[in-house]
Structure 1
Amino acid sequence: MPSSEKLALEAGLVALKQENYYAAITQLVPLANILDQSNACLQAQVGLVMAYAHTGETDQAIAWCNNLIESDNSQVQEWAKRALDHLIKREKRLESQKKSNYAKLTQQQAKISRKIKSQTALSNAKFNISRDGKTTEKKNINWRQARRAKVWQPLRKYNFISSRLLALATFMVLFAVLVAMVESVMILTNQILDKFPYVSPLPFLYNSPSSFILVLLLFLLGLSPWLLDWILTEFYQQKPLAKDNLYNYSREAVRVTQRTCQMRHWPIPELKILPMTAPMMFTYGNLPRTARIVVSQGLLEQLNNDEIATIYGLALGQIRRWDFGIMSLAFLVTLPIYKLYQQASIWGNKSENSLWIWTTTAVANLSYGIWCLITGIILLNSRFRVYASDRHAAEITGNPNGLIRALLKISIGIADDIKTKQQTSWELESVNILAPVDVKQSLCLGSVIENLRWESFLMWESSNPYRQWFTINSSHPLMGDRLQRLCQIARHWHLEPELYFITPELLQVKPQSFLLQIAPWLGIPSGLILAGLFWLSWQTAYTTHVVNLKWIYDDWSFITGFLMIGFSVGTLMRINSFFPEINQHNLHNDQQALKLLIDPSVLPIDSISVRLVGKLIGRPGIGNSLSQDLILQTNLGLVKLHHIPWLSPSAHPQKWIGRQVTVTGWLRRGATPWIDIQTLETQTGNIINSPHPIWSTVLAVVAQAWGAYIMLTAQSITG
């Protein structure tokens, strides 16, 4: 038995002995789910029966008893039969008591609002009739329904200085990037004009666009609320949300909004609604008095009264921050670019003209790349404001547990929406930067809950010591970190938390694995250090008249050469470990893949070779020509796929979207679990290869050749 499983089993049994039943469940569920009939697995299942019995979750205890009865171990079978008999008798006794208590209910209790009853039943119902009359299937999730605070002390005052500095830095970087992009277009335009006869370059294109772009950004910042109103109304069917309509869904949300605005002397923000089935919320504006709070119909339908209130509390927390206007400005800049990507994809998919298809593909891919670049500028700002907004929502509602349930239900709703539509909708991706939950993180998190407990899946996100390094390209912090902070607030107010996070003892994460993981990026500073030593050596040699290499200090471009070579060496060092050989003997199945997802000690480089069967879903056609929306829908849940296409159009998997496929590749655990594809095969035998190791090698060789060329060119020029 691996040491990590042994430690988890020991920790679970110790927690069970200490009557810390929820902690025991968190530790034992991953082992029990392995289902390999080993002693550790059977011990874990026996422990779960006892833990669930003590927490009152009798249905779960009975389910594990039935599983143990099928065991090959006769002693375990006998114990399970006795335990099952005891549980069934206790269940009948409790039912009898419930009937007796029901008969004693007073007339006043019988007049409780039907709306409150339906909301209470929402979390445990298998099927539910939504407000539009449709029957929707609900996941059978046992929420703890941990209570909220009735009286609570304010949290420590938040320091806004860092957020203001970060907002200013974000604006400056956005300005600098836009200036660089516009200058590049201007220079390229004049270079093209200079090549044509009878045409001269345009003199005004040689002028710096800095002043114009600065004025334009300030202009957009001032008009952002009204410009976004128009865009969202025209292209997203945004409509005003009457206060009475919100009151029908959540009375508390109305009260929280009114009370908070009154305390801060703000006008009530304009309330808006989008006709989206996925649960979504975002805010925009430039000042509290021009703020808008937008929610989707799906959010109002899928969350309970108190959970909706916490999301509105989160929105009010965003409005009070200085980066509120900067985030709205970035949203205003990126939204038209994303709509260009969307529209070019739609036009190209409808056309049969080859030239038009190639043109729209180029426009779509270029606009998507620009959208990613500008969105990347505000990622750090986005992550920090989420932490502060969570804290504010918990403080003004006194309900951190309600916010935990709300965030998890939003993740489930996003995953369900993607499964229903068989792709990530344009609307979801375009507003993701302002959403309360990241769409990519929700893929696995919101769908794997059918196979795991929340705490098991989130253990990596709350305890892996290197986890923050893998959120650099994420718009939101890790959900495990966010929920753990909310649980700490609940404990601070002497509340039982909705989730029980346990930090595994003796968590073994090898530092050398992390260093190997980031080897390509470590090669860059290493190259800089080598360049400095190289310069110092030749400077000493020149001073002592040993060697005269004047180019070393006449042309500093040799530093760039060292940086490229350092990156190349780091990439080559990592390739074999990052892409280990895949063969029939080391392929893993669904259950073993599930085991990787709950292991808090792994890094993306600690991948396992998997062969998973599922349905390929994602955006069809040109909108997915960069493979940005490839997802495998499996029995485990939704898993993001990374594919590097060959130059041939026939090597793109978009044409197989909607089909059953078999994916072989490397499953990795990061902020978003994903599979680097090696091969993708259909039921008819068609195969697409994804050359991840080849392209990594090509990238390393090109970087090394480029670095050597820079150094040799510098020497020849100045020699």
Structure 2
Amino acid sequence: MVNLFLRSVIVLALLFGLLFAIGTVVLVAVGAPPILGVFFALAIVFLQYLLGPWILQLIYRIEWRDPAAVDPGLAQFLSSACAANKIPVPRLGVIQDGNPNAFTFGHYPGDARLVVTTGLLELLDADERNAVVAHELGHIVHWDFVVMTVAGVVPLVLYMIWRLSASADSGRSRRRKGGGYLAMVGLVSYLAYVISQYIVLFLSRVREYYADQFSGQVTGDPDKLSTALVKVAYGMAAAPQGEKRDDTRMVAARAFGVFDPRSAQALALASAGSGGVTAETMESAMKWDLWNPWAIFYELSSTHPLPAKRIRALEKQTIAEGKTPHFSFRAEQPESYWDEFAVDLLITYLPGLFALFGVIIGLVFSPVAILGGEQTLIRTPVMWGGLILLLTCVGWWIQRAFSHRHSFNDQRTVKSLIGEVKVSGVRSIPCTVKGTIIGRGIPGLFYSEDLVMQDETGYIVLDYRQPLGIMEFLFGWMKAQKLVGLSGQAMGWYRRSPRPYLELRQMVLNDGEVVTSYNYPVTQFLVYAGMVLGLVLLVAPLVVR
């Protein structure tokens, strides 16, 4: 619904983006006219629209099921909702993963596919499942496949006009004077391209609100989508206790007509919990979205609205329908968080600021010496480069010291972490979380390296990072699925950007296996190596002389 659809789009964007980039290079190299670039952009979009659903089915492990065999109640709701909105019942797919999510894809309502994870079927109660499915049906009814495809054409066309105009203007300038018109066209096209990207993202967020509204209308209870959002977006869903696990495992086995011990264990742990989502839980989960300034900036570049804002919109819809919402966020903000935001912003750009400082020092102390003139403090370009490298790495070291505090003694639960407001992508909380691996970061994607851990209060994504992407790919392909169902403790840095996650440093499982991320030590080594190299480049000319 949120994370899975977004990452599906990213996978397709990377694939077709590679094709688009190569095509752009070729067109620029041969000096093709801008109109040819426009047709090329349109062809790429059409190809993505045509092949996208097929590629998604290829890279995701989706099992296509009869809705009645998965959940009779859900099948009945699906049938009645589709009949009421005069669309065919979409093909239902199931991904065997405890990470709760759902998404739709296709070309038009007649060939739409609706995919849910087993975690969604187990974590959410019947009304919440119906609300999520209704949201996905909203995308189908509103033809969002086509709407967003058409909207995506505009940035691509503007980008091609900019690139080819710049190339044509460069060639014309070499042959004769003039070419200012094309330069202006290119500049305007580039600015329009940047703006159009944000407009498309805004449109995507509007379509999400539209689908939420549709869900509330179809189910007659917008509150159910609100509680589902808290469980899916924030991870506020508890595991069952004691003997309930065996019951859930048997229900899962009967529902799918097969018995997979590993999947059954993941499903057993991903039960909806007995208490549901309380008002206190919802309020705690929403605070970061509504109070932390980082949330504003993250949302600008997101395809989905912040969950808290969606919940508020659903609350207004409930009131507009003459009903009383079961939950209303009324907590008063205790303080301003803009001071922490300012510090975070400074730390984020600190390496770049230190590098700029090095450039300025070089310009001040060596404008003549570098050209072979009088002797100054910075005598050669090598010394200048060394100074910039040294200062950049010093800034990087300060940034990492702030962002990666190295004490994991604080034992935390998922619920307590989600309620933290003073946290961001750069400001972390080092801690340890104990629980069970219930699934993978991208359910069904065979090379997904991230994991999902659940404790007694909720679940959280474990962000598995390595220095080289190939190491992450191999772990996701060959190792990650084998860890599903195992219990242990994960140590790392809790962050939000805006998704809550734990950047994994090390995970110790109860069977003795240890999973370690080497991204931190390798990066620290690079920081120190850069500082040493920069210092050598800076002082070596002085020593040699």
TM-score bracket for the superposition, by shorter chain length:
0.5 to 0.7
Shift in Å, 1:239: 9.9
AA at the equivalent of 1:569: V
CA deviation string 1:15-71 (max 9, x = no partner) = xxxxxxxxxxxxxxxxxxxxxxxxxxxxxxxxxxxxxxxxxxxxxxxxxxxxxxxxx
SS in 2 for 1:453: helix
Report SS of the residue matched to 2:349: helix
Q: Quick one: distance in 2 between partners of 1:444 and 1:515?
A: 38
Deviation at 1:388, TM superposition (A): 0.5
Do the aligned residues in 2 keep the contact of 1:596 with 1:602 (CA within 8 Å)? no
Correspondence list, 1:245-260, <5 A: 249=78, 251=80, 254-255=83-84, 257=85
Give 1:572 shift. Answer: 0.8
2:492 maps to 665
Residue 574 of structure 1, CA deviation = 2.5
What is the aligned residue count?
431
Please give the secondary structure, in 1, of the residue aligned with 2:90: strand
Task: Assess, with a 3 A threshold, how the Cα gap between structure 1 residues 517 and 225 changes in structure 2: closer, same or farther.
Answer: closer
The structure with the largest alpha-carbon Rg is 1
Q: How far apart, CA to CA, are the structure 2 residues paired with 1:702 and 1:685? A: 34
Whole-angstrom CA distance in 2 between matches of 1:519 and 1:484: 32
The Cα shift of 1:501 comes to 1.6
CA RMSD of aligned residues (A): 6.0
* Greater RCO (Cα-Cα under 8 Å, separation 6 or more): 2
Counterparts of 1:710 and 1:598 in 2: how far apart (Å)?
Answer: 47
Task: Give the drift of 1:453.
Answer: 2.4
- Alpha-carbon contact 2:460-2:500 (below 8 Å) kept: yes
List gaps (5 residues or longer) in structure 1. Answer: 1-170, 187-203, 259-267, 331-377, 422-442
Query: CA–CA distance in 1 between the matches of 2:425 and 2:318?
Result: 32
Deviations 1:331-381 (A, max 9, x none): xxxxxxxxxxxxxxxxxxxxxxxxxxxxxxxxxxxxxxxxxxxxxxx9967
Cα deviation, 1:402-433, whole Å, max 9, x if unaligned, reads 455336437757979x9999xxxxxxxxxxxx
Matched, 1:587 2:414: no
2:402 pairs with 1:577: yes
Please give the alpha-carbon distance, in whole angstroms, between the structure 2 residues aligned to 1:697 and 1:463: 33
Cα distance between partner residues in 1 of 2:509 and 2:495? 23
What's the TM-score, normalizing by structure 2? 0.57
Q: Which residue of 1 aligns with 2:182?
A: none
Name the CA shift for 1:207/1:513 in 2 (closer, same or farther; >3 Å).
Answer: same
Is 1:680 paired with 2:507? yes
Please point out which of 274, 298, 312 is paired with 2:137.
312
SS at match of 2:436: strand
Given that residues 582 and 609 in structure 1 are in contact (C-alpha distance below 8 angstroms), is that contact kept between their aligned partners in structure 2? yes
The residue number in structure 1 matching 2:3 is none
Q: Secondary structure at the match of 1:636?
A: coil
Q: Residue 498 and residue 561 in structure 1: after superposition, are their counterparts in 2 closer, same or farther (change >3 A)?
A: farther
1:176-235 Cα shifts (integer Å, max 9, x gaps): 864555799x9xxxxxxxxxxxxxxxxx99868999987555334335555446556788
Q: 1:228 to 1:657 in 2, by over 3 A?
A: closer
Q: Percent same amino acid at aligned positions?
A: 17
Distance 1:290 1:250 in 2: 14
Are 2:212 and 1:389 aligned?
A: no
Q: Which residue of 2 aligns with 1:596?
A: 417
Per-residue CA deviations over 1:81-127 (Å, capped at 9, x if unaligned) read xxxxxxxxxxxxxxxxxxxxxxxxxxxxxxxxxxxxxxxxxxxxxxx
Which residue in the other structure is 2:224 paired with? 405
* 1:573, distance to aligned residue in structure 2 (A): 0.8
Question: In 1, distance between residues paired with 2:213 and 2:345?
Answer: 39
User: Could you say which residue in structure 1 is the equivalent of 2:294?
Assistant: 466
Uncovered stretches (5+) of structure 2, i.e. residues with no partner: 1-11, 68-73, 156-195, 240-244, 250-268
CA contact (8 A) 1:445 1:457 kept: no
**Post-superposition offset of 1:635:** 1.9
Q: Which SS does the other structure have where 1:628 is aligned?
A: coil
Q: For residue 203 of structure 2, what is the amino acid of its counterpart?
A: R
Cα distance in 2 between the residues matched to 1:550 and 1:570: 20
Distance 1:315 1:699, change over 3 A: farther
Aligned to 1:455: 283
Matches within 5 A, 1:155-554: 178=19, 180=21, 217-222=41-46, 224-228=48-52, 249=78, 251=80, 254-255=83-84, 257=85, 272-276=90-94, 280-285=102-107, 293-296=112-115, 309=134, 311-317=136-142, 319=144, 323-325=148-150, 383-393=201-211, 399=217, 402-403=221-222, 405-406=224-225, 408-409=227-228, 412=231, 453-469=281-297, 476-488=304-316, 496-509=324-337, 511-512=339-340, 515-516=343-344, 519-525=347-353, 527-528=355-356, 531=359, 534-535=362-363, 538-539=366-367
Q: What's the TM-score once normalised by structure 1's chain length?
A: 0.45
SS of the residue 2:114 aligns to:
strand
